[in-house]
Amino acid sequence: MIISVSGCRKNNDQFYIVNNSDETIIPVHNGMSLLKNPIYSFHPEKCSSREYSEFLWDRISPHSSRDLSHFHQFLNNTPDDTLYIGIFNLCDIDTMSLEEFKIKYPIKHEYKITLQDMIDNNWTLVYPPSE
């Protein structure tokens, strides 16, 4: 068996999120609005410690950016090429109980993006958005 791994990447596989806030954020993606259809499966009380550790790989430190290329794959596989990305503060997820999280559902912002939106923005989302 031969396994080949290449370090070369296509530009269109990138998906950057820039965090201009003072908090560590966690972007969560879904094919439907996270505001209208809240999800709780990423809360530490709902998933295993291994799953939560994997979830934390997507965290973005304050005033930094991250290439979350795997979001690109989800964008291509959503109805109408639309992806919803909710931004949560890591401190909220880590300090609120699951019940408190469900009541407050502390989503900071939701992006509704299409493939064309990402192309127009050079595959970069900025949080918080300039409005």
> Is 6 within the bounds of a domain?
no
Angle (CA) 76 79 84, round 5°: 75
Distance from the first to the final alpha carbon of the chain:
53
- pLDDT of residue 1 exceeding 60, the answer is no
d(CA 61, CA 105): 21
> Is 4 within the bounds of a domain?
no
User: How many domains is the chain built from?
Assistant: 1
Give the predicted TM-score (pTM) of the model. Answer: 0.86
Domain range enclosing 111:
13-127
Burial of 48 (C-beta count, 10 Å sphere; 0-12/13-18/19+): exposed
> Is 37 within the bounds of a domain?
yes
> Is 60 within the bounds of a domain?
yes
pLDDT number for residue 74: 75
Exposure of 101 in the CB half-sphere (CA atoms within 13 A): 20
